[in-house]
Amino acid sequence: MNTMGNRIAEFRKKKGLTQDQLAEQLGISAQAVSKWETDASCPDIGLIPQLSKILGISLDELFGVEPEQSVVLVPEAERKKPDQLLFKVVIDSADGDKIRVNLPFILIKALSGHSDKLPIQMGNLNLSELIDIDQLVAMAEAGLLGQLVEVDSTDGDHIRVFVE
């Protein structure tokens, strides 16, 4: 089991710090660091941000939270047929609008090669100028699924495109 104590020790060693050096930077005793690393105690909540910064890791890493994979490569034998996939566009505009569009992937595939002639317009955004639809089709056909695109526009709009 990868405990917080084990993670602290691992990241401390990766940074080339001794328990004494880490303790000094945090303004605590080396015995306190030793207790953390043996899981006899945990760091005080007020020290967690500073500990994370010293170790050069995120709070998620310190707490052992695995990052979500935004993209996965599905083995060829396990891939869904194109007519079973969805093309999802999520837009959170700077104005507070939330746009959610789910389209059959087969429709997007039919547009492949013609996206320059058929711009996909959502509000003031022309997605075909921001996103290469042909490339997304190729990625999905190669087995890549999940969040394939994330764009922050200069207007403050946040756009994500998924194939699931």
pLDDT at 130 > cutoff 70: no
Do 149 and 71 touch, CB atoms closer than 8 A? Answer: no
Which three-class secondary structure state does DSSP give residue 52? helix
- C-alpha 18/C-alpha 40 separation (Å) is 18
- C-alpha 161/C-alpha 103 separation (Å) is 11
Which three-class secondary structure state does DSSP give residue 66? coil
What pTM was computed for the model? 0.52
Q: How many CB atoms lie within 10 A of CB 16?
A: 7
Higher per-residue confidence, 98 vs 46: 46
- Condensed to tens digits (0 to 9), the pLDDT of residues 51-100 reads 999 999 888 889 988 766 678 888 988 988 888 999 888 888 888 888 88
pLDDT at 114 > cutoff 70: no
Q: Give CATH for domain 4-63.
A: 1.10.260.40
Q: Using the CB atoms, write b or e for 46-78: b if 16+ within 10 Å.
A: ebeeebbebbebeeeebeeeeeeeeeeeeeeee
pLDDT of residue 16: 95
pLDDT of residue 10: 93
- C-alpha 50/C-alpha 31 separation (Å) is 18
- The pLDDT of 21-30, averaged and rounded, is 97
Please list the residue range(s) of the chain that carry CATH number 1.10.260.40.
Answer: 4-63
